[in-house]
Amino acid sequence: MKIFVGYGYNVRDKWIEGFVFDLIRAFEGEPVTGKEIFGQQLEDGVRQQIKDCDALLAFTTRRKRMTNGKYTTHQWVTDEIITATDAGLPFVEVRETCVDRQPGMPGGRQYIPYDASARDECLVQIAKALGKWRQRVKLQLRPEVVTRTIRPYIGKAGFHCNYSIYQDGIESAAKETKVIKLQGGLFVHVSGLGPRASVQISIEAGGKMWTSDYESIDAVSVELRKA
């Protein structure tokens, strides 16, 4: 599970690189950031990094104080949230107290409040979110006539297996996953699923393509058909 972490690259937010990154790793995840290609505007490379992840954890912490006593936050973090929304990725905003809701941000979403004097409470809520994102399902590929056809191509050049997630009316970008040979057939692992998510599997092998309908995560198998 790859989690993109959006935050301010400054001394005030340095705690995120310690506490939050370690928390993600404790949930067997991999924290990803755009720090190496950071700029005032969200670069295409960062957008692609976000799309390649399973979820986004975005920290809208204080930046500049406004005349009304509230604060702006980091523009690139709000852009990262918009990118995740457009890609259909699950995300959680961690909003510091007194940070004003930013224009252009998707509405109707719950957020985790962050108070620097009660950081432990925020970390507990982040842990709960990571626990939900960690949900991973194993799906068997069917029917057997298709799995027999694709089996010889697994691991060879030109073989690709992708999955897309449909949740809350939004279809995610396709993500690549591995096809695993286990006793009883061929299986794929899919992660980054919410409780109402459905999954579609697509396979390219030997110059041909197969795809499934969107299946509920409660399903134990997916039926592939030639595309």
Q: Which domains are seen in the chain, by residue range?
A: 2-133 (3.40.50.450), 136-226 (2.60.40)
Structure tokens at 175: 């993500």
Burial 74-95 (b: 16+ CB within 10 A, else e): bebbbbbbbbbbebbbbbbbbb
Residue 152 Rama label (left phi>0; alpha psi -120 to 50; beta): alpha
pLDDT digits (tens, 9 = 90+) for 131-162: 877 777 889 999 999 999 999 999 899 999 99
Look at strands 55-60 and 2-6 and give their pairing: parallel
- Written as one letter, the residue type at 36 is E
Q: Which residue has the higher pLDDT, 165 or 227?
A: 165
**Which residues are CB-neighbours of 178 under 8 A, at least 6 positions away?**
161, 188, 189
Look at strands 55-60 and 215-216 and give their pairing: unpaired
pLDDT digits (tens, 9 = 90+) for 9-45: 999 999 999 999 999 999 878 899 987 766 655 677 8
Look at strands 215-216 and 175-176 and give their pairing: unpaired
Confidence at 53, pLDDT banded by 50, 70, 90: confident
Strand-pairing partners, residue 211, are 202, 225
Burial 100-115 (b: 16+ CB within 10 A, else e): eebeebeeeeebbebe
**Cα–Cα nearest to 46, from 101, 4, 106:** 4
- What is the reported pLDDT for 59? 96
d(CA 15, CA 13): 5
d(CA 84, CA 53): 9
Do the beta carbons of residue 57 and residue 94 sit within 8 Å?
yes
Taking 60 as the threshold, does the pLDDT of residue 103 lie above it? Answer: yes
Burial class of residue 193 in the structure, from the number of CB atoms within 10 Å of its CB (0-12 exposed, 13-18 middle, 19+ buried): buried
Instruction: Tell me what the mean pLDDT of segment 172-198 comes to.
Output: 84
pTM: 0.66
- What is the reported pLDDT for 40? 52
- What is the reported pLDDT for 195? 66
